Amino acid sequence: MTIKALLVGIDTYPTAPLDGCGQDVIDMANFLVDNNYFKPEEIDTLTDDRATTEAIKQRILRLISGMTSGGRYLLHYSGHGTQYAERDSSGEVTTYHDAICPVDFDYSPEHMITDVDFQNLFDKIPTGAEFTWVSDSCYSGGLARDMVPRVSGGKSPRLFPISHDIQWRIETARSINLPILGFRAVALQLNGALIAACGADETDWPVPNLGGHNGALTYGLLNQLKTPGGPTTPLKSLILSVQKVLTNLGLLQHPELHGNPSITGKPFLV
């Protein structure tokens, strides 16, 4: 059996920088090692300017290529998320996607990682490999039409600012009921679980922590995993506790859990 983790965090977006994503990676890595989930050599990290589209895809492929049946694996992403709709050569809006934003993201298909990209990558996961995917980002675009830069404690939400033309495409896709695969559907096809930062009409915010910031999901997840019963609590119950932590902080976001019931009914990374 093999066990491996890939942790990705991006703060240094040229046009929409964040704060706390790199800290999410460090805090999660330290927690995993300190609590014997992984050894240091079993954790791969990728942050900031190095976390390009190509680099993230290569690291995910490296993670997947080493998977075995019965192994335990973690992918943690902290950074911007968005939605994207594309026109074909005749000008028709024909595709609609959830996407994460690598550091070189520019709203071109070559510089994003969409739900279809993730599905193609995850199709290579062998049967019997148990996989947990943590996404500390917005990925719904549900509040995109309100996307002027907002501020929470001087910090920005983890939703990449959407230009008016892209927003018009997204609204067009919705108005014609263009189907979207979405990260939730990708997760439901996994032998694993997706722990997502917020609901479809919510925004992911940073949370002050120890003089810096964490993403709200990473903060709440680690907060509850560090409680006496946290490591043995099934994910479907743990996520409810994380929601309460964020509600108590005054955040209007509700982390979600999606995936295979055989995994969501187990504790974190058991």
Ranking 41-45, 72-76, 149-153, 178-182 by mean pLDDT, the lowest is: 149-153
- According to the model, what pLDDT value does residue 270 have? 81
Question: Over the stretch 56-86, which tens digit does the pLDDT of each residue have?
Answer: 999 999 999 999 999 999 999 999 988 899 9
Q: Which of 80, 97, 213, 258 is catalytic?
A: 80
**Given pLDDT bands bounded at 50, 70 and 90, which one contains residue 146?**
very low
pTM for this model (two decimals): 0.91
Q: Is 21 labeled as catalytic in the residue annotation?
A: no
70, 106, 117, 263 from 125: Cα distances, Å:
12, 29, 14, 15
In the prediction, which pLDDT does 1 show? Answer: 75
Question: What's the topology of domain 3-264?
Answer: Rossmann fold (3.40.50)
80 is catalytic: yes
253, 242, 135, 199: CA torsion to nearest 10: -30
Quick one: average pLDDT of 219-237? 96
Q: pLDDT digits over 74-126, tens only?
A: 999 999 988 899 999 999 999 999 999 999 999 999 999 999 999 999 999 99
Paired residues of 208 in beta bridges: 213
Neighbours of 7 (CB within 10 A): 24
98 SS3 class? strand
Domain ranges of the chain: 3-264
Question: In the prediction, which pLDDT does 147 show?
Answer: 37
Q: Say yes or no to pLDDT of 153 above 70.
A: no
Q: What is the pLDDT of residues 26-46, one digit of tens each?
A: 999 999 999 999 999 999 999
From the candidates 21, 76, 97, 138, which is the catalytic residue?
138
**Nearest alpha-carbon partner for 80 in 145, 15, 164, 6:** 15
